[in-house]
Amino acid sequence: MSKNLRLGAASIAFSQPLYIESAASIVSQKEADGPLGDLFDLVCEDPMFGCDTWESAESTLQKETATQAISKAGLSSEDIHLMFAGDLLAQTSATCFGSAGLGIPFYGLYGACSTIGEALSLGSLALTAGFGTRVLCATSSHFASAEKEFRFPLGYGNQRPFSATWTVTGSGACILSTSPPGEKAPLRSGKGCAAITGLTAGRVMDYGLRDSMNMGGCMAPAACDTIARSFSDFGRTPSDYDAVFTGDLGIIGQKILLDLLEEQNIRLSPIHKDCGILIYDDPSQDTHAGGSGCGCSAVVLASYILPKIVSGEWKRILFVPTGALLSKVSFNEGDSIPGIAHGVVIEHMEV
Amino acid sequence: MSKNLRLGAASIAFSQPLYIESAASIVSQKEADGPLGDLFDLVCEDPMFGCDTWESAESTLQKETATQAISKAGLSSEDIHLMFAGDLLAQTSATCFGSAGLGIPFYGLYGACSTIGEALSLGSLALTAGFGTRVLCATSSHFASAEKEFRFPLGYGNQRPFSATWTVTGSGACILSTSPPGEKAPLRSGKGCAAITGLTAGRVMDYGLRDSMNMGGCMAPAACDTIARSFSDFGRTPSDYDAVFTGDLGIIGQKILLDLLEEQNIRLSPIHKDCGILIYDDPSQDTHAGGSGCGCSAVVLASYILPKIVSGEWKRILFVPTGALLSKVSFNEGDSIPGIAHGVVIEHMEV
């Protein structure tokens, strides 16, 4: 096994790619009404997902999505050696009572809305280290559990400024494998499959912003830092990618990101996409700046991005989920809202 | 580089050990008054650590501990390629405003009081995968921020049952390296050093217990599962270890663990130690069942366990931090308290 090249201060290029064998996405009706509505595996019309509490609803959503990713690949939970998962709730309780209940050895993560990027990163590292041959990566968010966790009781009916994002009710899960997917695997086309070929680990960036209703602005500096370092570490430019996806900067965060990168002479606008902008149609859906939450980039990856890589329409993308690191306590105590973003290079692979 | 052997369903033996180059521990006066009081690097008499809030106090504690681990090794934060850290607070805010502020590329973790085991595990896997040559692993907890997060305002002065544990105010940090520590490194003796040679990933175990004042009972099944699987995966028995350390089961959890293992014909009592029992002297310190919190096993590892491995007094130990996966929301909604425990094999290495 050749040694993996560590390219720069915080990037790694894998000598053996990690294949994405299967992916699943489940959302609520709101996301199904958006532009990507036809692409999700399952839409649950009941926002309670048959449960009594918002937290249980999110746990059920996440566990069901993980189960779907496993069953779509024709596997059972015994075939998965490790799981990396997280969510937005305090003590990641949606995960602890969600997919963690599947009995798979489990490492819990917290990276705010960047968590699916962190899960794919650590899953890739574990497999590269030789710890098993298949890992499950999953995240979730729920509009109502997140509003309860971070902001106001829904019954208050408070006004949301136009810079606010709407937390996606959804969960995305992927199975990574050291082997290419078999011929009948869900993420394999006649032309090939999708694989992770490199990572850039995020650093916490804090520009001192304190507005929890403008999280795109809080996260944009972290996205800029990760994207610029990734280009530098891998010796690439935007022309080496078909698209660069940020997690959920929304329309305000996107503008800040593009301006910040322009200052570093990186012109990303022709290939930049943001999962938070893609998932809803504003103003018709009244979501304002876009979507957010741990589930946002995870469901867009599973439903929209991966199929285009598998088909060969896109040869290489950089996936950069972004997270705003706040709690209601830190916010109420007047702390700033630092951001973080983890970069994952995903490429089309012929098999 | 030889392939690492994946021994069982959730264990890995490293063909190249990961060396523990440096470790630091900082605690408050309460821990300094306990049996290990002379072993900590620093004792801060001010439980506010010079800050205005309990949360900022914990962040400052954790950041200072990480900084100490780095400086004890004669390094600066630029020498550390990745950081794995976490704590107990919602959205791991002690970490996000603590050591994450050091500017080191950062993966955030949540594993309740098992987090230092998770950090050492994922740090070892990242280095084995070739992602850098040095990682920092850090966790923290604070009695007052934890009581505020999970239980009652301190001012209520509520009675604590004898099964309750006392959250350690403390932070522990370790630096892992792919190379043996140099001759003047803090964790090197004339005889050798300490290194991680294997892992067993934890599974969530839920026996349906709902008593947040008896977390030892909630975590014991997870500790049993991890220890039994580790013995099985590595083909070892208790006689292959000088000691097996659980994180913070306390005196009630310890009894349950030993009983559960006895049912599997594993007699652990001669070599079992529990960080939560070691750190306080009860009843003189009025801590009841023992210590707990993300900082508990981390400071015991850094101050008490690692020096004995470095000196060669202990040749091999199994370190099994244990976590109780509850939030105040899940507890108040009547959910059970699942447990998790991650196993790390640490051995004396001649250099």
Q: What is the pLDDT of residues B128-157, one digit of tens each?
A: 999 999 999 999 999 999 999 998 888 888
- What is the predicted pLDDT for the residue at B29? 98
Taking every pair of Cα atoms in chain B, the longest distance, rounded to a whole number of angstroms, is: 58
Q: Is the ipTM, as predicted for this complex, more than 0.85?
A: yes
Distances (CA, A) of A300 to A176, A308, B213, B218: 17, 12, 41, 37
Q: Give the whole-angstrom CA distance, residue B255 versus residue B224.
A: 11
Q: Give the whole-angstrom CA distance, residue B293 versus residue B140.
A: 8
pTM of the model: 0.98
- pLDDT band at residue B103 using 50, 70 and 90 as cut-offs: very high
- pLDDT band at residue A8 using 50, 70 and 90 as cut-offs: low
Instruction: Please say if the pLDDT value at position B26 is more than 50.
Output: yes
Query: Between A90, A110, A338, which is nearest B327 by CB?
Result: A90
- What is the predicted pLDDT for the residue at B25? 98
Closest among A140, A150, A156 to A31, alpha carbons compared: A140
Nearest chain A residue to B9 by CA distance is A81
Beta strands in chain A (DSSP E): 5-6, 11-28, 42-44, 82-87, 106-108, 134-141, 166-167, 170-177, 193-200, 243-246, 272-274, 291-292, 316-320, 322-324, 339-341, 343-349
Residues 31-90 of A with CB under 8 A from B: 53, 55-56, 81-82, 86, 88-90
- What is the predicted pLDDT for the residue at B154? 87
- What is the predicted pLDDT for the residue at B6? 64
A107-121, A123-137, A145-159, B57-71: which has the minimum mean pLDDT?
A145-159
Nearest chain A residue to B126 by CA distance is A125
Q: Which residue has the tokens 């530098």?
A: A232
Helix axes B215-234, B250-263, angle to 10 degrees: 40
- pLDDT band at residue A9 using 50, 70 and 90 as cut-offs: low
Instruction: Please say if the pLDDT value at position B5 is more than 70.
Output: no
Residues 296-325 of A with CB under 8 A from B: 325
Chosen from B76, B110, B137, B178 to mutate, greatest number of chain A CBs within 10 A: B110
Q: Give the whole-angstrom CA distance, residue A256 versus residue A262.
A: 10
- What is the predicted pLDDT for the residue at B10? 87
- What is the predicted pLDDT for the residue at B30? 98
Query: Residue B130 and residue A97: Cβ atoms within 8 Å?
Result: no
- pLDDT band at residue B348 using 50, 70 and 90 as cut-offs: very high
Query: Between A12, A203, A328, which is nearest B131 by CB?
Result: A12
Mean pLDDT estimate for chain B: 96
Mean pLDDT estimate for chain A: 96
- What is the predicted pLDDT for the residue at B2? 43
Closest among A66, A18, A19, A20 to A41, alpha carbons compared: A66
Q: Which two tokens stand for residue B227?
A: 């220890």
* Residue range A290-303: mean pLDDT, rounded: 98
Instruction: Please say if the pLDDT value at position B8 is more than 70.
Output: no
Digit-coded pLDDT (tens) for A225-266? 999 999 999 999 999 999 999 999 999 999 999 999 999 999
Residues 115-174 of A with CB under 8 A from B: 118, 121-122, 124-126, 128-132, 149
B184 vs A: CB within 8 A: no
Digit-coded pLDDT (tens) for A19-34? 999 999 999 999 999 9
Instruction: Please say if the pLDDT value at position A3 is more than 70.
Output: no
Instruction: Please say if the pLDDT value at position B1 is more than 70.
Output: no
Look at residue A273 and give its three-state secondary structure: strand
The strand pair at A193-200 and A11-28 is best described as: antiparallel
- What is the predicted pLDDT for the residue at A275? 98
Query: Between B3, B4, B97, which is nearest A330 by CB?
Result: B97
Q: Give the whole-angstrom CA distance, residue B313 versus residue B232.
A: 25
Digit-coded pLDDT (tens) for B41-88? 999 999 999 999 999 999 999 999 999 999 999 999 999 999 999 999
Q: Give the whole-angstrom CA distance, residue A255 versus residue A164.
A: 15
- What is the predicted pLDDT for the residue at A1? 34
Q: Give the whole-angstrom CA distance, residue B280 versus residue B35.
A: 6
- pLDDT band at residue A2 using 50, 70 and 90 as cut-offs: very low
A210 vs B: CB within 8 A: no
- What is the predicted pLDDT for the residue at A156? 87
Using the CB atoms, write b or e for A163-198: b if 16+ within 10 Å. Answer: bbbbbbbbbbbbbbbbebbeeebbbbbeebbbbbbb
Query: Residue A340 and residue B106: Cβ atoms within 8 Å?
Result: yes
Query: Residue B338 and residue A96: Cβ atoms within 8 Å?
Result: yes
Distances (CA, A) of A294 to A47, A117, A169: 17, 10, 9
* Residue range B263-280: mean pLDDT, rounded: 98
- What is the predicted pLDDT for the residue at B7? 63
Query: Between A3, A86, A91, which is nearest B90 by CB?
Result: A91
Digit-coded pLDDT (tens) for A71-107? 999 999 999 999 999 999 999 999 999 999 999 999 9
